[in-house]
């Protein structure tokens, strides 16, 4: 199994869990499989063209998948995948 | 303590002024507290539609949905994830370390908002697992347009503590 870390804004879709487990041979397959278990998750992570949204980074272990082979990046049992929103903020309270 | 060379200090202020009234954002890198690298990152909020915003963070949308994308960028920022990663890659290749995230407040003080602290804590929950060192959070205030103020903070346990920052 592959451990996937879920950021706070997406936890309503995983029943509040900060980590879920998934399967697949690539990041793309993993996202599809997770979407089966947690419907709607893919739409939040990927845009209409299926690319990772521009405010999200996905890390395989400690490496950003954009510097590996993107959604084709191979994954295997024991890997850790983190879905991380890019840094944001604002002056409004 | 953060030590920022004059050229980077001026470039940060120029970045904030160039985007005013939108917030600017970026990354500082260096060795220990001495900054040697500066990366301007695009604030994508100005070009994010409500539909796109809604895809990720409903809580953020509820705060911002009354506003146009342009207006949202006046009071908030969202770093472009790809540029942020590219900067992190360059930082690693140069053998330096990510030391701070910065952004501007175009009409308020140089101190972290509740939103800044909340999002910093969210990032903190991943940081060590991704082997990213603890960043300082630097804010450029353009509240007084003629005298910009730069302040730096550590944000831990939902509390922001100011740290000294020097221009050298």
The model's pTM: 0.91
- Picking from B27, B43, B82 by the largest number of A CB atoms within 10 A of its own CB, the best residue to mutate is B82
Given CB atoms, is A52 within the 8 Å cutoff of chain B? Answer: yes
Given CB atoms, is B92 within the 8 Å cutoff of chain A? Answer: no
- Whether omega before B21 lies within 30 degrees of 0, making that bond cis, reads yes
Q: Is residue A9 part of a domain?
A: yes
Q: Do B115 and A53 touch (CB under 8 A)?
A: no
Question: For B25-36, what is each residue's pLDDT tens digit?
Answer: 999 999 988 999
Q: Is residue A14 part of a domain?
A: yes
Q: How does residue B46 score in pLDDT terms, banded at 50, 70 and 90?
A: confident
Question: For B113-147, what is each residue's pLDDT tens digit?
Answer: 988 998 899 888 888 888 888 999 999 999 999 99
Q: Which fold has domain B2-43+79-167?
A: Cytidine Deaminase; domain 2 (3.40.140)
Q: Is residue A93 part of a domain?
A: no
- Rounded-to-integer distance, Cα A14 and Cα B111, Å: 34
Given CB atoms, is A33 within the 8 Å cutoff of chain B? Answer: no
With beta carbons less than 8 A apart as the criterion, state whether B132 and B123 touch: no
Between chain A and chain B, the number of residue pairs with CB atoms below 8 A apart is 110
Nearest to A55 among B58, B78, B129 (CB): B78
* Residues of chain B found within 8 Å of residue A8, distances taken between Cβ atoms: 122
Question: Residue A24 maps to which CATH number?
Answer: 3.10.20.30
Beta bridge pairs of residue B105 = B141
Number of domains present in the structure of chain A:
1
Given CB atoms, is A48 within the 8 Å cutoff of chain B? Answer: no
- Picking from B44, B84, B85 by the largest number of A CB atoms within 10 A of its own CB, the best residue to mutate is B85
Element (H, E) at B78: strand B76-78
3-state secondary structure B1-13: CEEECHHHHHHHH
A6 phi/psi in degrees, rounded to 5: -110, 125
What is the reported pLDDT for A6?
Answer: 95
Question: For B77-121, what is each residue's pLDDT tens digit?
Answer: 999 999 999 999 999 999 999 999 999 999 999 999 988 998 899
Beta bridge pairs of residue B167 = B4
Q: Do A92 and B80 touch (CB under 8 A)?
A: no
- Domain enclosing residue A28, as ranges: 2-85
Given CB atoms, is B75 within the 8 Å cutoff of chain A? Answer: yes
With beta carbons less than 8 A apart as the criterion, state whether B119 and A88 touch: yes
Q: Do B84 and A57 touch (CB under 8 A)?
A: yes
This model of the complex carries an ipTM of 0.88
Structure tokens belonging to residue A33:
């499989």
């Amino acid at each position: 199994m592959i451990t996937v870390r879920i950021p706070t804004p997406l936890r309503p879709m995983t029943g509040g869990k900060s980590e879920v487990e998934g399967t697949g041979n690539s990041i793309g397959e993993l996202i599809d499989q997770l979407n089966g278990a947690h419907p709607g998750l893919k739409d939040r992570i990927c845009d209409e063209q299926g690319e990772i949204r521009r405010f999200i980074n996905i890390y395989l272990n400690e490496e950003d998948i954009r510097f590996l082979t993107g959604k084709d990046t191979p994954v295997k049992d024991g890997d850790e995948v983190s879905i991380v929103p890019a840094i944001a903020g604002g002056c409004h309270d | 303590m953060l030590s920022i060379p004059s050229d980077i200090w001026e470039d940060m202020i120029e970045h904030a002024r160039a985007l005013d009234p939108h917030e600017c954002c970026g990354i500082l890198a260096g060795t220990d507290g001495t900054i040697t690298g500066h990366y301007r990152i695009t604030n994508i909020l100005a070009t994010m539609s409500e539909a796109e915003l809604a895809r990720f963070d409903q809580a953020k949308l509820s705060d911002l949905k009354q506003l146009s994308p342009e207006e949202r960028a006046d009071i908030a920022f969202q770093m472009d994830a790809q540029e942020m990663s590219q900067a992190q890659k360059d930082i690693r290749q140069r053998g330096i370390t990510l030391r701070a995230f910065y952004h501007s407040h175009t009409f308020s003080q140089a101190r972290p908002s509740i939103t800044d602290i909340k999002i910093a804590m969210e990032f903190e929950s991943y940081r060590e697992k991704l082997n990213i060192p603890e960043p300082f959070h630097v804010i450029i205030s353009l509240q007084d347009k003629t005298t910009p103020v730069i302040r730096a903070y550590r944000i831990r346990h939902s509390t922001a503590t100011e740290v000294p920052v020097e221009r050298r």
